[in-house]
Amino acid sequence: MNHIDGGVCAAKGFLASGVHCGVRKSRTKRDLAMIYSEKRCAAAAVYTQNLVKGAPIAVDQANLADGYAQAVVCNSGNANTCNANGVEIAEGMCELAAKALKIHPKDVIVSSTGVIGQPMSLEPFETGIPAAAAALGMNHADAAEAILTTDTHSKEVAVSFELSGVECRMGGMAKGSGMIHPNMATMLVFITTDAAIAPDMLQSALSDVVQCTFNMVSVDGDTSTNDTCAVLANGMAGNAPVIAPGADYEAFRAALCEVMRTLSREIAGDGEGATKLLECTVTGAADLTTARTAAKAVICSSLVKAAMFGADANWGRVLCAVGYCGRDIDVTKIDVDFASAAGRVAVCRDGAGVEFSEDEAKKVLLEKEIHIEIALHSGEFDATAWGCDLTYDYVKINGDYRT
């Protein structure tokens, strides 16, 4: 597997665009993205489990019931959530995209992101969607930019891989910076591939991989109303279709995992106000649920996040989070290390503190990427979670987010 350029346009047959259509007041910001496949695609998606859901999710669930799609249209600047006419707007966006692309409205995936509960109309899309269709090309960067809200940069990735000797490609783009604590998916993620795979196998791979990638990310503990991760596979690579478990399915799953893991790290590191990416790895757990639960508990701890912002090796906060995670863990066996490009420092052994240099620990924790390594010594299961530090700027951003 190799990382390549191209984002969502890396796979054969996919085009993309990003334009300003008027949802955002600022004309300098793109606010409408489109992805289009030359051929109809097998498609799969996962969504937020928040009971309050954006209207596009209901429309997407209906549109993807048959396991196929051919295009994505997504706006930023308004979440289309808690609006009386929300479904009407989402369906209208699908119809406008279908008309512009000459496809069926049911083959369109629609998404929105931005402020919740703000009035929305179809007017910006009546000119914006045809403009986005006219701009389709290898414009993956424009599309990735158009879905951003408080993100500080675009998030893209692409890889090449082989299925039974045939080269396939997969690319993805994501947005996510605040309101990140997924329980099924995370914010908005769109993945394209030219691999041929049956819809049920695609859904199986996505539902599996999301558990160890996007569901292991947390920025602030808030689960969004619009979380969606969708994958489109158009089969244009020409491989024998993946229709059952086996070597090709595992190779496809590995590529999907690499794309989703990379985007997970990008989202975590670009958390609102963040200065550091935090990666917590738990090893030696009695079972996978324990490993995942403990890792995410540490990543979610406001006290751990604040300590990492201050480069304070307050390892007791790490142990505390493991202790309240709700799993049966022998705390007398726990080891904790902090590591980064500046080195490694052991801070806890067998559930008790050990001598270490505060100066050396501070050097380790001043880096932009911090690894919190926890060994439970109780089994053979591992898990990794990603998050970020908690800074003053997070409060500044969210104190006046709406206004």
Q: Could you give the dihedral angle defined by the CA atoms of residues 85, 96, 45 and 219, in that order, rounded to the nearest 10 degrees?
A: -60
Strand partners, 137: 16
Q: How far apart are the first and last CA of the chain?
A: 45
Tell me the C-alpha distance between 187 and 202, whole Å.
20
The string over 74-112, giving b where at least 16 C-beta atoms fall within 10 Å of a residue's C-beta and e elsewhere, is: bbbbbbbbebeebeebbbbbbbbbbebbebbbbbbbbbb
Of the CA atoms within 13 Å of residue 83, those in its CB half-sphere come to 22
Q: How many residues does the chain have?
A: 403
Contact of 195 with 245, CB cutoff 8 Å? no
CA angle 199, 81, 60 (to 5 degrees): 15
Which positions ≥6 away from 344 have C-beta within 8 Å? 337, 338, 364
Burial label for 399, CB within 10 Å (0-12, 13-18, 19+), is: exposed
Other C-beta atoms within 10 Å of 326: how many?
11
List helix spans (H) across 194-325: 199-212, 247-269, 288-300, 302-309, 315-323
Element housing 195 (H / E):
none
Respond yes or no: is residue 186 known to be catalytic: yes
Tell me the C-alpha distance between 379 and 382, whole Å.
9
Of the CA atoms within 13 Å of residue 50, those in its CB half-sphere come to 23
Could you say which of 113, 149, 186, 293 is catalytic?
Answer: 186
- Phi, psi for 132 (deg, rounded to 5): -65, -40
Contact of 387 with 300, CB cutoff 8 Å? yes
The first and second tokens of residue 348, run together, are 């806890």
> Active-site residue numbers?
186
